Amino acid sequence: MSSRLLIGRPSDAELGEQLLGTTWRPGGRGWRIAFLITGGLTVLLISLITYTIGTGIGVWGTMIPVAWAFAIINFVWWIGIGHAGTFISAILYLFEQGWRTSINRLAEAMTLFAVLQAAIFPVLHLGRPWFAYWLFPYPSQMEVWPQVKSALPWDAAAVSTYFTVSLLFWYLGLIPDLASLRDHAPTRRRRFIYGLFAFGWNGKATTWRHYRAGYLLLAGLATPLVLSVHSVVSSDFAIALVPGWHSTIFPPYFVAGAIFSGFAMVLTLLIPVRAVFKLHNVITEKHLENCAKLTLVTGLIVAYGYILEWFLAWYSGETAEWYEVWVARPTGPGLVLFYLAMSCNVLVPQLFWWKRARTKVWLLWPLSLLINLGMWSERFMIIVQSLEREYLPSMWGDYLPTWVDLGILLGTLGFFTFLFLLFLRLVPIISLSEMRDMKHEIVHRERGHG
Amino acid sequence: MTHRPRDLRVLPAGDPAEDPEFPPGVDEPPSELDRRAVMKLLAAGAGLAGLGSIAACMEAPSKRIMPRVVEPPELTPGVPLEYATSMVLDGFATGLVVTAHEARPTKVEGNPDHPASLGATNQLHQASILELYDPDRPRGALEAGVPTSLEALLRSIARRAPMPGLWFLLHPQSSPLGADLIDRVRARHPTARFAWYSAVDRRSVYQGARRVFGRPLEPQYRFDLADVIVSLDADFLAAMANSVRWSRDFANRRRLRTPEDRMSRLYVAEPCPSPTGSLADAALPARPAEIRTLAAAILARLEGRADDHALSPRHERWTAAAAADLRAGRGLVVAGDRQPAEVHALAHLINAAIGANGTTVAFTAPAVIDPLGPGLSELAEEIRRGGVQTLVIVEANPVYSAPAALDFAALLARVPETICSAVTHHETSRRCRWFIPLAHYLESWGDARAYDGTISMIQPLIRPMYQSATLPELLAAFAGTEQPDTHRMLLDRYEHGDPLAWQRLLQRGVVTGSAPRGFVPPIQLTAGDRQALVAPTPAEPTGDAAIELAFAPSHAVYDGRFAGISWLQEMPKPIDKITWGNAALLSPATAEALGVGDDDVVRITAGKAQVELPVFVVPGHADRCATLELGYGRWAATPTAEGVGANVYPLRPLATPAYATGAQAGVRIEPTGRRSRLARTQEHFTQYGRDLAPTADLETYRAQPDFTAHLWGDQPTWLPDKRHGTPQWAMTIDTMICSGCSACVVACQAENNVPVVGADGVRRNREMHWLRIDTYREDRGDRVEYVHQPMLCQHCEMAPCEYVCPVYATQHSPDGLNEMIYNRCIGTRFCSNNCPYKVRRFNFFDYTEPTPAPLRLQYNPNVTVRARGVMEKCTYCVQRIRSAEIRARKANREIQPGEVVTACQQACPTGAIQFGQLQHEGTEMVERRKQARHYAVLHDLDTRPRTAYLAKISNPNPRLP
Amino acid sequence: MPCKSLCRTTVSPLYPRWSNTVYRAAICLLVLMLASPIVLPMLYVRSTYNTNQFVPWAQPIDFDHRHHVRDDGIECLYCHGSAERSANAGVPATSVCMGCHTQIWNQSPLLEVVRRSYFSGTPINWKRVHQVPDFVYFNHSVHVARGIDCVTCHGDVGAMARVEQVQPLTMGWCLDCHRRSQGTSPPRPPALPAPTNSWSASVGMFAKPVAHDRDVTLLTTCTACHR
């Protein structure tokens, strides 16, 4: 734990003022505009969802053979992004990585909102969404149960569990800060409302002890989820015999990809937030660099996944599989996205071997965007391109999205940002309590050594 | 909300008179199958099953039961009835058995007792039922567009004094009753003339016969006896008068049971691969105008004359091989209807030369009345001379289909009195003063002759939906009968005071032994005439730039008269898989020369006429030639028909209506630079080296009978075997005798309430056919080999679709069916992704909701009508299986072999599709599975399909490369 | 300066004492609210209100089964004959009623509706009592033939003044019987009379679970009822 995680040695009060203040300092014109735009996109999303459910998913580009397209791509992409949050807050917590402190809340918030976007699609993409509840095991009057051989009921379970646990975890972490907001917010009304959510928190030592136990417990709970959720999601494809899907490497490959895209998204959000709220003293280059390093590592795993896919396609000797990976993807319809995926997910991260790329925001930020784009393209490549060229050439078909597809994707982006902006305005972006602890530790050690 | 086809959706129960669908004619004695009875039956049915839905909790079911007041003895609500009848196409009858649920016809099937059917049908018969329920059928008679009383009209006609200049324009007719009536009309109106017209003209057949034998004759071919068949531009398996029967005969000669079996060899010379051509052992791309030369060359070789015909080396080789084979074996030569009389004459001479006449070919008097009687041109001539006072047009649609040079519309305007009668309005009917709605054949009594002359009965399945008259009634009116009644007339003709015999006749549908015996007439040919025939045609003066146009009746909409039937419009055509429209079919070389490719729009000019069509490139097509499909581009028909494709009739020259050579018509084709995407159901026609539909020639097969050994058998697995206990259903399909005619596709659509999605739906790969025909072609040097592979749910024993469904909406039944439960489906579409055969279809929209009321009457009540958002697919006609099961269980017996027949199997003219139980040893289905050449598609995935295929074996001439 | 905000908290308590109780209550309520949308519908679909059981519907004619069945001893199949031949049991045509009622009670004002229907040729508009959804292909004839008796599903109609539905007719209910009877019920023994209101051999009598019987699964497979 090095001092590079905190620049300057602010007093608790100063720290509180800086971190809690974000919630009551008045937002400028820029904020209103941002809310307007993202709010507009949210409305677009809602209206398009209504339109789809009202008319049928025929308004999308899906067809036979490509029966899964944007909806599932978006689902996998968003849920993947959701992974970084829990990874940072749970796993890094268990590994006692001090640098997680100043970014974990933001990352967790991102997780929640991303999973929220993802959760739209498994229901929306159904032909008859109003029967989505049949996916859950309940004693039905029809005496029929969901089929456990299929990956989809597990999907439903995994995603809902993941969301619940992440929510609890995030909220638990929030409670002490809500309490301090209750005590420090300028107006009585604010204090009253924050108080409601603070669950009557009193900073007693016992409370803190229980709190830490609970937090550790949830961290332990959340950790396996990070791995399980995307493994389950990957089995949506791995259990099928579609060439390009039917592969045992999918679970690790998907999880790596998820964390990869997750960290990219963290950077995408972190860098502007840091600039806007002038948090350079608490979110230092060290944090950015660590994120970049992890991106590089997971990026390498993803690259390995690609290589293995190509190798297995050749090694399996299965004509369709080989054609899919070696011919259809690089030369077939939608090849653009194939090359996007390859360059953004394999080449771009390699820049992170280079320190400047890890630390200089003007370089890091665009790269993080590229990686997000790349990961979306990867999902397109895996899902759509595989379905376009299956076993019977007679049923090969080329996919084309409709404006509704694009609109919904845009809508989720808007909705996501909207929620994130709300988060920035309503609760402390950085966990005050944890920052305090960390500061004390640092100061303490410095004293000890001095 | 998926519901069963129910009547309350079809007709609001209650007072029929209030129902706009049902104008006059509802108050008839309730003892017969009149509409009132239907109404109540429907209502009863309604009450009994009500209007539930998958979300039964969401939609209130109907809470009413309305039983009939008096129940006709033959009817029990819920028990379907079958009646024998016939459908007549250009004079030739095909025997049918039609199923009626609660007195509404729902399904057409072949009549096994009928020589032209033998229980099979073609796509047109299957689809014809939809025309009965066409919501745009005229409701009554019109005078100058104003509704008038049909009875009054007929009465006034019957009372007319002898009319001078009375002309009739009819499709070719073969009805014995009709013949009598025509005589009676002539007796009353001595100057009356009858002209025969169909856009698909067969006169050249009779002219050819007359030229050789001195009188018009109908050749009767025995394809089941021929070792060598040479087809001169004759698509005798799919596009000719007796094709359904001939398909069965041909297949019988090709159905290899053991490698040792002998099979016939088929030579086909034609411009564009046809279903027949796709089965050819030696296909020769040849422009229509070249056919005559080929025929003459073959004859020359057979007669050992020095061959002085200018032939390309390839044509040379082909004719040589064909002639040699014809001399060697028992052969037969068949000439295409569109070929001129000379070619038919030459064919007769060849058949005579090889002694085919009497063995594989016999002759009968033509079934049609007055085969070489006056036609459109004579009528036109007469109109120009002002000799036509009254013109009665029945069905025929010359305004649409006559060559541009004739300008029939203008001529029609010059006739003072025009009466038109048709089932639905068409271009001609809209230009006539009087319109008399014609009864659909499922509504009418009548008789007609089959191709071989057998007399076939036509009996109604339902009282006329709307005011209408039949052709005999119309003629009778002209003959002076004031209230004509076809039923009465038939009784007079056939009952002979023996009601029982009459009943039996109706049950059987045919007058047994009414077919004339075939005979071989002596050749009456003057030396000069013969010389003229065999003389070489002068080589075309035009250079290589010149392009020839070949016109063919559409495989889907025939000459355009079926363009209003959505099933046919959406039926992928056998060779190009184009739906909803026609294209200019070109050979790769020609397309390259023109600098165009698929979907590029070209402008085609012939004389003054111009048409724009998108191009589709067909390997195996003759060079410097374009094939154009007739029957599209209707402009004043029913909404379904209008504006689909382009009308190429105007391009046809008067002299040779079937083709236009560059020389005579100055044909030009030039690219427009525009593109228009054809609605095709298949885009990739090669197998990309994946052994999907293996083929072999006879030698290879005999050398190595189990050449498909690597394509069947189980992979090792720990999963339990599913093949024990209970009946185990399975299907085998012989790709060797599948011509791709697509009768099965339409039959499946009719049986299973499969919706239509329209051209745009097809372009977006959303067609709903449960059964499609995959067509693959392989370039073998200079010939292209086609193989048709009917592809439907394979009912895999280890179905990939089943284990991915999260809600058990698709499951395996103990009797080996892959079940699809619509009301459980939530539409994840995972099953479709995981189906390697891609036979699952998805309701992306609510395709059935917009179906207009009358069309819903066709729904099969035993099959759920699928609503939006559910997956659907072939069920092996489970409704038929289960009802057979119920029959058997009630009688406490097992299901008998052949008791369950799927819709596709029933329709298949060649018998390529066989269905049954694995336990039933000795049935065709089981026998085939034991043959060495059987295989499973994508066998290496170990899905263990229940549908087995037999590899296509061709029998090429070793002397031909 | 931050100290100011710290001191402020001591001015007056944000919440009164009782707010804790309210708070806890609120949380319990929240939990209930989350649970109810799951539990309540499950209760509803099983309620007789949802299944339309035990509702003696009024009919256009006050037809009394007790009289016809008990007093006159007419058996079910006399009027509902197609139950033996067809999927539909059917409601008799007016002519069937008139078969007797041209002879007896042919003046009765109670039968006015029947006579009007018969002579005017307009059907009687009965209220429907038993109803399965349209995607369920129930076949009366096979059930009758295999010895399942009317009473099993329709209850003792002979004892009803107005017909009411006594069984839930839900999928679960159908399945129970199909599983229990194992489909082994043999065809109706000739010894037994045709199923009437009184004859109640019914499933129980033949319920011999024979697991290996070929019918076992054919009876419970999906397409047995859904096609």
Residue C84 falls inside a structural domain? yes
Looking at the complex, report in whole angstroms how far the Cα of residue B859 sits from the nearest Cα belonging to chain A.
Answer: 23
- Quote the minimal CA–CA distance from C46 to chain B in Å: 12
Cβ within 8 Å, pair A387-B833: yes
Q: Is residue C175 part of a domain?
A: yes
Positions of chain B with pLDDT under 50: 1-61
- Count chain A–chain B contacts defined by CB atoms under 8 A: 162
Segments making up each domain of chain B, as ranges: 81-126, 218-364, 695-711+723-954
CB contact under 8 A, B821 and C50: no
CB spacing of C2 vs A13 below 8 angstroms: yes
Q: What is the C-alpha separation between C198 and C187, in angstroms, rounded?
A: 19
Amino acid type, A228: S
Chain A: nearest CA to B634, how far in angstroms?
A: 29
Fold type of domain B218-364: Dimethylsulfoxide Reductase; domain 2 (3.40.228)
pLDDT the model gives residue B52: 31
pLDDT of residue C182: 53
Across the interface, which of B688, B804, B827 has its CB nearest the CB of A239? Answer: B804
Question: Using one digit for the tens of pLDDT, what is the confidence trace for B620-645?
Answer: 999 999 999 999 999 999 999 999 99
Question: At B806, which amino acid appears?
Answer: P
The closest CB to that of C134, out of B4, B63, B878, belongs to: B4
Q: Would you say B176 and B493 are in contact if contact means Cβ atoms under 8 Å apart?
A: yes
Chain B residues with beta carbon closer than 8 angstroms to that of C188: none
Q: Choosing among B765, B788, B824, which should be mutated to test the A contact, i.e. which has the most A CBs within 10 A?
A: B765
Tally C-beta pairs within 8 A across B and C.
Answer: 169
Per the CB < 8 Å rule, is A13 touching C175?
Answer: no
Structure tokens at C166: 């006594």
What pairs with residue B606 in β-bridges? B609
| A-proximal residues of B, 790-829, CB under 8 Å | 791, 800, 803-808, 824-829
Rounded to whole angstroms, the Cα distance separating B823 from B843 reads: 13
A-chain CB neighbours of C38 within 8 Å are 138
The ipTM (two decimal places) reads 0.91
Count of structural domains, chain C: 1
Nearest to B840 by CA among B767, B789, B903: B767
Strands (E) across B345-389 are located at 361-364
The residue ranges of chain A whose pLDDT is under 50 are 1, 450
A-facing residues of C in 29-48 (CB < 8 A) are 38, 42, 45-46
Can you read off the two tokens belonging to residue A439? Answer: 């500061």
Which domains, and CATH codes, for chain A? 3-441 (1.20.1630.10)
Say which of B55, B806, B844 has its CB closest to residue A147: B806
Question: Residue B28: its pLDDT value, please?
Answer: 34
How close are the terminal C-alpha atoms of chain A, in Å?
A: 16
B848 touches chain A (CB under 8 A): no
Mutate to test the interface with A, among C14, C15, C174 (most CBs of A within 10 A): C14
**Residue pairs between chains A and C whose CB atoms are closer than 8 Å:** 40
* Confidence (pLDDT) at B665: 67
Is B892's CB within 8 Å of C135's CB? no
* C127 vs B contacts (CB less than 8 Å): 63-65
Query: Residue A141 is nearest to which of C5, C20, C172, comparing CB atoms?
Result: C172
Residues of chain C found within 8 Å of residue B818, distances taken between Cβ atoms:
none
CATH class of the domain defined by B695-711+723-954: alpha beta
Q: Quick check: A240 and B804 CB within 8 A? A: yes
Distance between CA B245 and CA B436 in Å, rounded? 34
The answer to whether C136 faces chain A, any CB pair under 8 Å, is: no
> Which residues in chain C are closer than 8 Å to A13, comparing Cβ atoms?
2-3, 6
Length of chain C: 227
Does residue C198 belong to any structural domain of this protein?
A: yes
pLDDT of residue B59: 37
- C38 vs A200: CB contact, 8 Å cut-off? no
Q: How many CB atoms lie within 10 A of CB B12?
A: 17
Minimum CA–CA partner of C125 in chain B = B66
The CA distance from B443 to B854, in Å, is 15
Shortest distance between the Cα of C83 and any Cα of chain B, in A, equals 10
Q: Is C26 inside a domain boundary?
A: no
CB contact set of C33 (below 8 Å; sequence gap of 6+): none
**Which chain C residue is nearest to residue A186, measuring alpha carbons?**
C5
Inter-chain residue contact C172 with A142, CB threshold 8 Å: yes
Q: Strand B584-586 to strand B609-617: parallel, antiparallel, or no bridges (unpaired)? A: parallel
Q: Give residue C77's domain range.
A: 55-91+126-224
**Does C171 sit within 8 Å of A200, measured CB to CB?**
no
Q: pLDDT under 70 in chain C at which residues?
A: 1-12, 181-217
DSSP A186: S
Residue A186: its chain C contacts at CB < 8 A?
Answer: 5
Residues in chain C within 8 Å Cβ distance of A181: none
Q: Is residue A327 less than 8 Å (CB to CB) from chain B?
A: no
Q: What is the DSSP string of C1-26?
A: -HHHHHHHTTSS-SS-TTHHHHHHHH
C132–B62 C-beta distance less than 8 A: no
- Phi/psi at B814 (5° precision): -60, -20
Judge whether C3 is closer than 8 Å to chain A, CB to CB. yes
> Does C136 lie at the interface with B, CB-CB under 8 angstroms?
yes
Amino acid letter for position B168? F
For chain B, counts of helices (H) and of strands (E): 29, 40
Contact criterion met (CB < 8 Å) for B64 and C125: yes
Q: Does the beta carbon of C218 lie under 8 angstroms from any beta carbon of chain B?
A: yes
| Interchain CB distance below 8 Å, B862 and C141 | no
Residues 921-950 of B with CB under 8 A from A: 937-938, 940-941
Rounding to the nearest 10 degrees, give the CA dihedral for residues A97, A101, A104, A105.
160
B74 touches chain C (CB under 8 A): no
Residues of A contacting chain C (CB within 8 angstroms) = 13-14, 16-17, 138-139, 141-144, 182-184, 186, 188, 191-192, 195, 200
Q: Measured between beta carbons, which residues in chain A are less than 8 angstroms from residue C9? A: 183
Question: In chain B, which residue's Cα lies nearest the Cα of C134?
Answer: B52
Cα of C106 to nearest chain A Cα, Å: 48
Q: Check CB contact under 8 Å for C126 and B824.
A: no
Query: Distance (Å, rounded) from C-alpha A434 to C-alpha A441?
Result: 11
Distance from CA of B812 to the nearest CA of C (A): 8
First to last CA, chain B: 59
Q: Which residues lie across from B554 on neighbouring strands?
A: B558
CB contact under 8 A, A143 and C171: yes
Chain B interface includes A320 (CB < 8 A): yes
Q: Measured between alpha carbons, how far is B204 from B375 in angstroms, rounded to an integer?
A: 12
